[in-house]
Structure 1
Amino acid sequence: MDFLGPIMDILPTLCNCTSSRIDIIRHLQENLTSLRQTRDELEDISKDVRSRVEHADQQYRKRTNQVEGWLERVQLKLQEVQNILQKGEQEIQKKCLGSCCPRNCYSSYKLGKEVIKGTDAVNDLINKGKEFRSSDDISEKLPSPPVDEIPVDKTVGMDSILNEVWRCLDDHKVRIIGMYGLGGVGKTTLLKKLNNKFIDKRRGFDVVILVTVSKEVNLVGIQEVIRHKVQIPDKTWEKKTDKHSRAAEICRSLSGKRFVLLLDDLWERIDLRNMGVPDLSSHQNGSKIVFTTHSEDCLSFEKSFELFRQCVTEDVLNSHHQIREFSVTVAKECKGLPLALITIGRAMSNRRTPEEWRYAINTLQSHPSEFADMKSSLFQVLRFSYDSLRDDKHKNCFLYCSLFPEDHMIRKDELIDLWIAEGILHNYGLDDTRDAGEFIIRSLKHACLLEMVGDSDDYVKMHDVLRDMALWLASVKENKIFVFENQESIKKHGIATWKEAERISLWGRSVKLFSKTPFCPRLLTFVVRQTSVDTFPSPFFQSMHAMKVLDLSKNIFLTRLPPCLK
């Protein structure tokens, strides 16, 4: 009877195995219900995750491979679960029609195993989906394209200049290309077209960066544009707390790339090292810089003298042995200002005696205001559109726009309100004033004296060169407009000159008031916005008897007004 021992040992195992299989068969319907519930939960979570990644797609971000793989597995698993549930329903129907026991125990057991395995797999997907639903790591920033296409209006007559610049880019000896021209001749448009040309013809460049510099150089903003284009990560950038360390980080990134840097609207020399641009003389991989400028000191002396020599002509320079020496001095006095080089060079093109050249040098050195005349000659070219306006009302409205800071987006409704308040539109009836204001704005835009801001019809802006011309026109017409954006400019200009002004604006957080009381008998409009002014002394407004507009909006520190304004 010893053989009964092993048999008795096997029996409990067989019983346990049989019992577990019976449980799988017996609880098939419960397990199907559980699978259906987990399926529904997975569908809800996958909808949440998909909604988040679709939102990320709209923000120009790319869903991670992990999330994309999870969504694909979810779709496959949901289809698989649907097939299991259908087979389960069929199995339950057979059982109900016959008896409480399944007709085929093996098929019911096999199906039950599939249900349990499917439920476990769905639960695993649910747990991962919950992580994605609460995590910020479901998408990553898309790599910046090497060239960003920029909308450009259709142009006529620029192809020859564009091709000439393109040929310079192909010349390995040329590293920096400058384009000079008067405001409004199309330099910015030309630079945009050059940028877009790289989309189809990369010429081996890794990245093309277009930056607008403007008259008031915003180094922080320029560095932000460059660092986004070369894809310096936010975490790395945030650790660089000053412009020097950020410049070093940009330089490190650009040094490994063959780049084209397009700098639009330079007004003065700019130190590329402060921006983080590597020295192209030692950067031997063929990187290029192209810039546009209108009239400020942007040319090296070698280029300046070359331009000056062309205007004077070699025949004059060779007419006396001292004249070539004097010509170098005159060219230096022009401080690299292209318009001055051209104007003075042409003026000296028929001066063939040393005495005439010495007189020119003495004039330039003793009367620096002559350079203002050089600048006004630029404005004389531009003012044709202004002189062509239909009446003084249109001209006055144009000059009024220069009261806003450079590159400021001017809200049209606000501008019309100011015109009405000062009385510029006084000849119109109350119901017609706003229509008249809209008409004048359209006329100024048609004359290219104002421009739209993007696609919005609610804002306009003034080109910085036209704004300078407007301030100059206001000064020569003896109805001066002063715009002060910092405390230093107020001190430099002098408060005594305010007596000549008809309009003054103080604009910027660095602007504060001063102890002296201004004398402003002619002042019509006084705008004080977004400043650090916290109060006005009582006598401050005592001379402003002609004032019609006082705008003190958006001064968060202003707490007390003098009694005369209450």
Structure 2
Amino acid sequence: MAVLSNLITKSFNLEDKMQIIERKFDILIARASDISTELEIEEQQLGKKRRREVDQWLRYVKVKKFEIVSLGEEVKTTRLLLPNMQLRNRIGRIFDEIEELEQQGRFPKGLVLNDVRNTRLPLLTPKLMDHMLEGNIKTVMKWLQDDKVCRIGIYGMGGVGKTTLIMHIHNRLLEGKIFFRDVCWVTITQSSTNELQNKIAKAVGLDLPNDENWRRRAAALSNMLSRIRKTLLILDDMWNHFPLDEVGVPVAGSGCKIVITTRSLDVCRRMECQKILKIEPLSERDAWKLFSGNLGNYQDLPDRLIEVAKSIVKECGGLPLAIRTMARSMNGVLYVSEWKNALQELKRPIRGQDDMKNEVFPILQFSYSRLNDFKLQKCFLNCLLYPEDTKIHRDELINLWIVEGLLEETESREEQFHEGHTILNKLENSCLLEAKNYNEKTGVKMHDLIRDMAINITKVSPRFMVNPGAELIELPHEKLWPEDLEKVSFFHNRIIEIPQEMSPRCPNLSTLFLQYNPLERISDPFFKQMKALKILNVSHTNIKKLPDSVSDLENLSALILQGCWNLSCVPSLTRLHKLRELDMRHTRIKEAPEGFDVLSNLRCLDLSEIKDLRMPLCKILPKFSRLQKLRLSLAIMGKDITNLRYLERLECWLVFNMNEWKKFIEIRHHWKINCYKFFLRGTRWGCNDRYDQLLNNFCNGSKRVLLVSKSIFDGRNDLKFPKNIQFLGINQCDFQVKGLIDAFPYFHNATELKVCEINKCEGIEYIWSPPPASSVITPPFTFSHFKKIHIRSCSNIKKLFPLALIQQKLLPNLLEIELVNCPHMTEIIALNEGQGSTRDYEDALLTLPHLKSITLINMPNLESICRGLLQCNSLVKVNKENCPMLNMIPISLPVICDSSEGTLRQVAGLSMQWWASLDKDYPKVVTEIRRLLNKRKLL
């Protein structure tokens, strides 16, 4: 009886224990509820994330709740039965676990931690309004997916939309989460190495050691980033390049990629970007879409305002920043007068619209300031001297910098042009100038808003007055000419005269542009107070006489009179000792101005296209010892320039006899002339022979020409060529040796030769004769530039090229073959003795990959071009006239049958008999060939 009582007592103790457990667990549940509420509040803060231990603890509490309820039910059903020792043990275990959960639920480190990835919110971006932006986004996204691309550069002028583009890409990457584990945005601008390291570390949520040694910080940052795989760093608005390893950004092989935005192509290149994208201004259609999309009341605009609005958009030059600025400023404006006034303000040389001045110009001017080079800034501002929207020829602009003294003084003008082109490239790469090609010349152009920004600069310092292309009919009153003016341009206006009393006080004025005006008269006192003037350009005006005050401009460096058709008188030049450039092309000046022969500092002289010029050039030219460029319309004797040691460009014919030529070619300083026309007249030249017409016929647009006429070549002449010769003309010469190279042993040195013309030459039988088959015909670079061969009226020539020359592919750039009146020529590409078997020749496949034209006229004995198969995949023209023996042109059939644009388009002189003879060689395909040629109207 006592034992049963004891068991019943223990059973009741289990119930008490269970009640204690339930009370303790109720407190734990309340704690869990409070923690859940706190978590909801904390997680609403940006960059906060619940700790994993808190999340795990809440799950344990939830599971334990179900276990306690189940255990309580089990205790109630077994209280009248013998107690279960296993149940007692479970109750004890759960009691211990609840106490442990109470201890764990205190969380001394807090409920949440900082998680930088939770700060990655989509950036607020303008809506996509143009297909160009969408296309650029797709391009960059494609590059980002390429595992081989780890550096991407995006550049363009300020306000063109670089940041907008990369913001859209940032948001798409966040939405997709398919390329990168993390996308981090860092705005660079101007940052030191330490600042840059801190910005990148903060962006990726890393704690960088507070160490002053940047190398140790770089090592720590690199180690941290290497452990974070598939990370994209967006470095926005970068002005200067930096070595990634010095900062601590691992790229190659780390899974980390970078995208930079900058205004400079040079930064992209120095950052070794593998893909580079330039953001161009918007097209007119996209610009209008952007403007109308940002104009809140666009639907309310009456039709009469639409055209005005489109004109306003056009003035913004496709710059998104300017377009949005103008759209915001015109939002809600419905009065026609206000729209027209806004348009008028935009058309002024300085945009009068306040929003443009305050929001757009500072961004554009920052690009100018960041050049950090006074020389580059001055060179850039010189572009203002030319009319708006004008494409400025690069050489013209560089020449202006040279005579102004902006470029380094060197003995070589070519070196100065190299420096000038480097500066222009820097300005283009900084998006301050745009590259433009026109009339086969390279030029630059200023964006309209860049130009307005530059004019804004020159209203303060340096001080300019620029009104090119402004339709002015008179100059501003002299009171409007500030004394601190440095440069003035009235290029391309309608100014007819400068009043007699006008004499602006401009002691610092260095450059004055008056060209392209119908200017007839300049008052004498006009230049009196311009003593610092360096450049005076009055070209293409109607001026008849320059005022005498020009004689007092002792600092004048360039006097440009080109195209002044009525100018016949130039005042004394005696005091103009600093004059470096004198251009009197297309004037009526016949006699040398007074003091002309004392201009010892002249670097450039242009006396071309002057009718009846009567200057004693043979006496004057030797005095211009520093001359670098000489341009004349008439021919002069070579001996007249032997003292011109610095001459680099010669745009006239220099005439030599054989003895004079041998002396001239041995003087080493003449080898640096990079533009010339040398005429070597032979011993058979009579005193009554005229050569002016002959000279005009031989040039072919080449810069470096040698014409040899009426000479006898017997292999002992030892005639040397300039190494950089481009055009060789041989006219009416007698060859007492069979080959051209036999007559000219120095021919192999002419590695830049492009064109060779041989006319009316006797004795010559072939051009090149190869050495034995075991050796290379000639050094492979000898004919690497060779493009055209023209042979006319050479009665003894029998063949043109040896087979070995074609087989060894030593004519890779040959474009044109022209053979006229060569009665003894039987084969163009011929097999020379000792050069292989006829069978091998007939089976050979020969290639002239760039040959475009073959002309064969009056060749009565010509039997074939070659006996092998000639593959000319670039051939577009074949002309055959009076070549009765030529029954086959062995051109590779795909050239004829191919329908692409690059294949044969013109066939002349191929008779029905010729086609009949072709049947013998190509019976299966001749019908198809004729059908195709008929279809393409080549027959």
TM-score tier, shorter chain, comes to 0.3 to 0.5
* Structure whose residues are more often helix by fraction: 1
* Structure whose residues are more often strand by fraction: 2
TM-score normalised by L of structure 2: 0.28
The structure with the larger Rg is 2
Relative contact order, higher structure (CA 8 A, sep 6+): 1
TM-score normalised by L of structure 1: 0.44
